[in-house]
Amino acid sequence: MTFSTLRTATQDGVLTVVLDNPPVNALSATMMRELRDLLSRLDASVKVVVFESANPEFFIAHVDMHILDQQDLLEELAASTPPGLNIFQHTGELLRHLPQISIVKLAGKARGGGAELVAAADLAFAAEETAGLGQVEALMGITPGGGATQYLLDRVGRNRALELVLAGELVDARTAAAYGWINRALPAASLDAHVAQVARTIASLADGVVAAAKRALPPADLAAGLAVEDDAWASLVTRPAARRLMSEALRAGAQTVDGERDLEGLMRRIA
C-alpha cells in the first residue's frame, strides 16, 4: 500500500510504521484514513507492528485543528465507522483489537489524539530525556473524544485519569511509566535498540503464540464508556468557547514547531 502520511517497512515479521505528516505530525483525516487502511489489511505474516515518528520532536502533535476543512473525507470515515464509535475512537479500537502486538516507540511529544494512540497500543516505550505525553483537550474547551478517558481509566486508575484529563499538563516519560501510561522510560540512546529487541523477540515466537496470548489477555470491553465519552466530547466541541480557543491557538502558533514545543503554555496564555 502507498500512503502520503505513513512510511512502512517489514522485516522478519515486524512491520515498522513511520508517521510522517510535517510539520508536527498532526493527526489529520488523511492520516486517520491511512492508519485505518493499514490496520485493517495487515498480512498474517506480521506479528509485531512498531509505530515511530519521522520527526524526533513530535510523535503525533494532536488531532489536526484544520480537520473540519476535510469534510468529504470526514464523511467517508464516518460512513465506515461501526455503530457506537466516533471516527477518532475507531482508530484506537482497531489498534487495540489487532491480533498482532503493537508497540509505540516514543522519542518526542504525543498530545491529544497522539497520546490516545500511545494508550491504545499494547506496549509503549519512551525516551526519558525527550518524550512527553499530554491530554491537552481541556485547555481547548473540550474533553478527549478519541478514547483517552477510557484508555487512561483502564491503565492508570480514575484519580490519575482525572488529573491527566483536567490538569492538561505535559507528563514526562518517567512519570508516564510510574502512572502506567507506558511500559517503561529508557535513556534516549537506548530506545531504538530496546524496542528493536522486544519486537524481534516477539516476532520470533512460534506461529500462533502471539495470537493465543492476545486471546488470553483480551483488551477490556470499553464500549459503554466510549459512548459516554463521545457524548461528553460532542456536547462541548461545537460550543463557541471551544471554537474560539482553537482559532486563537492557531493564530498564536499552534501546529507550528515553535508553538507546539510548549502548547500547554500557549493555550493557557490565550485562555
Inter-residue contact 74 to 127 (CB < 8 Å): no
| Residue 167: DSSP 8-state | H
Which CATH superfamily is 6-204+219-270 part of?
2-enoyl-CoA Hydratase; Chain A, domain 1 (3.90.226.10)
Omega of the bond leading into 240 within 30 degrees of 0 (cis): no
Q: How big is the CA angle at 70 (ends 93 and 62), to the nearest 5 degrees?
A: 50
pLDDT digits (tens, 9 = 90+) for 238-268: 999 999 999 999 999 999 999 999 999 999 9
Alpha carbon of 163 to those of 45, 199, 238: distances in Å? Answer: 40, 32, 24
Inter-residue contact 145 to 233 (CB < 8 Å): yes
pLDDT digits (tens, 9 = 90+) for 100-144: 999 999 999 999 999 999 999 999 999 999 999 999 999 999 999
The average confidence (pLDDT) of the chain is 97
Q: What is the pLDDT of residue 1?
A: 74
What average pLDDT does range 45-67 have in this prediction? Answer: 97
* pLDDT exceeds 90 at position 271: no
Matching residue, cell 515486524: 14
pLDDT digits (tens, 9 = 90+) for 59-90: 999 999 999 888 999 999 999 999 999 999 99
The strands making up 58-60's β-sheet, listed across from edge to edge, are: 58-60, 109-111, 132-134, 171-172
pLDDT digits (tens, 9 = 90+) for 150-186: 999 999 999 999 999 999 999 999 999 999 999 999 9
Inter-residue contact 165 to 137 (CB < 8 Å): yes
What average pLDDT does range 33-42 have in this prediction? Answer: 96
Closest CA to 209 of 43, 48, 51, 96: 48
Query: Going by C-beta distance under 8 Å and a sequence separation of 6 or more, which residues neighbour residue 47?
Result: 13, 14, 100, 101, 202, 203, 205, 210
| Residue 182: DSSP 8-state | S
**Rounded distance between C-alpha atoms, residue 185 and residue 175, angstroms:** 9
| Residue 170: DSSP 8-state | P
Rounded to a whole number, what is the distance in angstroms from the first to the last CA of the chain? 43
* pLDDT exceeds 90 at position 95: yes
Q: What is the pLDDT of residue 188?
A: 98
- Residue 70 burial (C-beta neighbours within 10 Å; 0-12, 13-18, 19+): middle
Q: What is the pLDDT of residue 82?
A: 96
Inter-residue contact 77 to 37 (CB < 8 Å): no
Matching residue, cell 524496542: 195
Question: Is residue 103 classed as helix, strand or coil in its secondary structure?
Answer: strand
- Segments making up each domain of the chain, as ranges: 6-204+219-270
HSE-CB for 79 with a 13 A CA cutoff: 6
